[in-house]
Amino acid sequence: MLDYVDLEADLDEEERMVRDTAREFVESEYKPIVGDHYIDGTFPTDIIPKLGELGFYAPNLDGYGLPGLSETAYGLLMQELEAGDSGLRSMASVQGALVMYPIHAYGSESQRERWLPKLGRGEAVGCFGLTEPEHGSNPAGMDTHAEADRDGDGYVLNGSKTWITNAPIADVAVVWARDRSANGSPVRGFLVETDRDGVTTNEIHEKLSLRASITGEISLQNVFVPEANVLPGVSGMKGPLSCLTQARYGIAWGAVGAARDCFETAREYARDREQFDGPIARFQLQQEKLAEMATQITTAQLLAYRLAELKSEGRLRPQQVSMAKRNNVRMARDQSRIAREILGGNGITADYSPMRHMSNMETVYTYEGTHDIHSLILGHDLTGIAAFE
Ligand code: TGC
Ligand code: FAD
C-alpha cells in the first residue's frame, strides 16, 4: 500500500493493530459486497454490530467501555474504512463523532450510561439532525424549535431535518433545535428516541452518490421529550459545530483512504492491462498520472498526520480541520477521476472502485461543510473578515 514517505515507521503497536484490523475487515468482508450494495442503494446493516465488536465506533473516546485510542489510531481507522467506501466511513463517523461524541462531551451521566455502551457495541444506531430543507450551509437559521411543555417536565419539538445519514434505521437522533422557552432562543441538543409519538423518518432513495449509505429525513410533529433528554453541557451553535469538527477530522483522513484505494487499483490495472504489445504502465502519460496521484495522496496524508499530533496535544483549531477537509476531499475527488481514466471502459463498472469513490466524493465534498464553506472559514481566519453573508 502506498506510504511513500514511510509514515508507518512512526506508528506504535496499537496504531498498527487498529489499521491492520480495519484493513483486513475491509478487504475480506466489505470489498466483496460493496459493489452490489452500491448498485442496489443499500447499506449492509448486518455489519453494524460487527463494526461495534471490532471497536470501530468512537475508539478515541474513553470510559463506558470505549478504549481511548490515540487520534492517529482513530484517523487510520477512518482512512481504512473509506478505502472501502465513503458510506462505510460515514456509518462510523456519524455513530462515533456525531452521536457518541456529543453524548460523551455534553451529556448527563445517565445519558452517557444509557447510550454510550450500546452505541459503541453497535446494538443501537444514532443519527445527527442538523441540516434542514431550508438551512444547509447556514444551520444557525434553523426553524426546528422546542417549547417548554405545559406541565414543565420537558419540551415539545416541531420541525424537520433532511439529508440525515442513518435516520431511517436510527434508534436515537441527536436533534439540534432552538429552545424558544429560554432567553435568546439558544440552540440545544435533544436526544430523541425515534419511536416517540410524532417522529417519522423517510428514506431518500434517488441518490446518485453515496449509494451504499442510508440517508433520510426526520419530521418532528409535537414530539414530547423529557427534560432528561436535553444535553445539559452545551448551549448555542458551538454544540453542533464542535461535533462537526470531530467528524471533519475523520473525513480528512478518510478521503486519503479513498484516494489511495483508487491509486492502488489504477497502478495494478496499468501493470496488467496490455495495449500496443505491452502494459499501459510503460507509457509516460500513464506514469505521469500515477506520479501525480502518489504525490497528492502523500501530501494529504502528511496534513492528516499533523492534525493528529495537534489534536492529541489539545492544540487543534477548527480552522485547521477545515483546511484538511477541504484539501483532502478535493484531492480525492480529482484523483479518483484520474484513476477512473486509467481503467478505460472497465473503469465505469462496479467491478472496480474508482468510479464509485469518484461519485461518493461529490457527497463528501458537500457534506460536513461544502468546499465553499471551508474556503470561507479559512478566508475569515486568514483575513479576519467574515464573508459568509
Ligand atoms: P459562529 O458564530 O462562527 O460560531 C458559533 C460558536 O461556535 C464555535 N464554533 C466552533 N466550535 C467548534 N468547531 C467548529 N468548527 C466551530 N465553528 C464555530 C464558535 O467559536 C462560537 O462559539 P461561542 O463560544 O463564541 O459561541 O457560527 P455560525 O453559525 O456563524 O457558523 C458559520 C459556519 C458557516 C462556519 C457554520 O454554520 C458551518 O460550518 N456551516 C456548514 C454546515 C455544516 O457543515 N453542516 C454539516 C451537517 S452534518 C453533516 O453533514 C453530516 S454528514 C455525516 C456523514 O455521513 O459522514
Ligand atoms: P446549500 O447550503 O443550499 O448550498 C448550495 C450551494 O451554495 C453550495 O455550492 C454551497 O457551497 C453554496 N453556498 C452556500 N452558502 C454560501 C456562501 N455563504 N457563499 C458562497 N457559496 C455558498 N446533514 C446532517 O445534519 N446530518 C447528516 O447526517 C447529513 N448527512 C448527509 C448525507 C448526504 C448523502 C448528504 C448529501 C448530505 C448530508 N447532510 C447531513 C447535509 C449536508 O451537510 C448539507 O448538504 C451541506 O451542509 C450543504 O447544505 P445544502 O445541501 O443545503 O446546500
Reported residue count of the chain is 389
SS (H, E, C) the chain: CCCCCCHHHHCCHHHHHHHHHHHHHHHHHHHHHHHHHHHHCCCCHHHHHHHHHCCCCCCCCEECCEECCCHHHHHHHHHHHHHHCHHHHHHHHHHHHHHHHHHHHHCCHHHHHHHHHHHHHCCCCEEEECCECCECCCHHHCCCEEEECCCCCEEEEEEEEEEEECHHHCCEEEEEEEECCCCCCCEEEEEEECCCCCEEEEECCCCCCCCCCCEEEEEEEEEEEEHHHECCCCCCCHHHHHHHHHHHHHHHHHHHHHHHHHHHHHHHHHHHCECCCCEHHHCHHHHHHHHHHHHHHHHHHHHHHHHHHHHHCCCCCHHHHHHHHHHHHHHHHHHHHHHHHHCHHHHHCCCCCHHHHHHHHHHHHHCCCCHHHHHHHHHHHHHCCCCCC
For the segment 28-51, what is each residue's pLDDT rounded down to a tens digit?
Answer: 999 999 999 999 999 999 999 999
- Cα 138 to ligand 1 centroid, rounded to whole Å: 9
- Cα 97 to ligand 1 centroid, rounded to whole Å: 14
Instruction: State whether the Cα torsion 121-132-193-205 is positive or negative.
Output: negative
Q: Is the pLDDT score of 151 beyond 90?
A: no
For the segment 84-111, what is each residue's pLDDT rounded down to a tens digit?
Answer: 999 999 999 999 999 999 999 999 999 9
Which atom of ligand 2 lies at the shortest distance from residue 204's CA? 34
What is the set of domains in the chain, with CATH numbers? 7-125 (1.10.540.10), 127-229 (2.40.110.10), 238-383 (1.20.140.10)
Question: What pLDDT, on a 0 to 100 scale, did the predictor assign at position 115?
Answer: 98
- Cα 256 to ligand 1 centroid, rounded to whole Å: 23
Give the residue carrying C-alpha cell 478505502. 83
Q: Are residues 193 and 170 in contact, defined by beta-carbon separation less than 8 angstroms?
A: no
Q: Cβ–Cβ contacts within 10 Å for residue 272, how many?
A: 10
Catalytic residue among 80, 147, 368, 389: 368
Of 77, 98, 101, nearest to 88 (Cα)? 77
CA distances to 210, 269, 285, 292 from 355, rounded to whole Å, are 11, 14, 20, 18
To the nearest whole percent, how much of the chain has pLDDT over 70?
A: 100
Which atom of ligand 1 lies at the shortest distance from residue 89's CA? 56
- Cα 368 to ligand 2 centroid, rounded to whole Å: 7
Mean pLDDT taken over the chain: 98
Nearest ligand to the CA atom of 389: 2
To the nearest whole percent, how much of the chain has pLDDT over 90?
A: 99
Which atom of ligand 2 lies at the shortest distance from residue 139's CA? 47
Of 357, 377, 360, 379, nearest to 369 (Cα)? 377
The three cell numbers locating residue 386 = 467574515
Q: Are residues 91 and 51 in contact, defined by beta-carbon separation less than 8 angstroms?
A: yes
Residue ID of nearest Cα to ligand 1 atom 6: 238
- Cα 242 to ligand 1 centroid, rounded to whole Å: 7
Across-strand partners of 62? Answer: 67
For the segment 9-26, what is each residue's pLDDT rounded down to a tens digit?
Answer: 999 999 999 999 999 999
Exposed, middle or buried by CB within 10 Å (0-12, 13-18, 19+), for 197? exposed
Q: Cβ–Cβ contacts within 10 Å for residue 40, how many?
A: 10
Q: Which residue out of 135, 370, 371, 388 has the highest number of ligand 2 atoms within 8 Å of its CB and is therefore the one to mutate?
A: 370
Query: Would you say the CB of residue 93 lies under 6 angstroms from ligand 1?
Result: yes
Q: Which residue out of 77, 106, 135, 241 has the highest number of ligand 1 atoms within 8 Å of its CB and is therefore the one to mutate?
A: 241
CA distances to 79, 91, 218, 219, 387 from 176, rounded to whole Å, are 28, 20, 12, 13, 25
Q: Which residue out of 366, 368, 376, 388 has the highest number of ligand 2 atoms within 8 Å of its CB and is therefore the one to mutate?
A: 366
Q: How many angstroms separate the CA atoms of 34 and 87, rounded?
A: 9
362: annotated active-site residue: no
pTM above 0.75, yes or no: yes
Q: Which residue has the higher pLDDT, 246 or 150?
A: 246
**Residues in the ligand 2 pocket, defined by CB under 6 Å:** 94, 128-131, 136-137, 163-165, 210, 215, 363, 366-368, 370, 372-373, 376, 388
215-226/126-129 β-pairing:
unpaired
Q: How many angstroms separate the CA atoms of 356 and 35, rounded?
A: 8
Question: What pLDDT, on a 0 to 100 scale, did the predictor assign at position 93?
Answer: 97
Give the residue carrying C-alpha cell 457495541. 121
Q: Is the pLDDT score of 286 beyond 90?
A: yes
Question: What pLDDT, on a 0 to 100 scale, did the predictor assign at position 150?
Answer: 84
Query: Would you say the CB of residue 22 lies under 6 angstroms from ligand 1?
Result: no
For the segment 352-365, what is each residue's pLDDT rounded down to a tens digit?
Answer: 999 999 999 999 99
Question: What pLDDT, on a 0 to 100 scale, did the predictor assign at position 380?
Answer: 98
Nearest ligand to the CA atom of 246: 1
Mean local confidence (pLDDT), 318-326: 98
Give the residue carrying C-alpha cell 481511548. 68
- Cα 367 to ligand 2 centroid, rounded to whole Å: 6
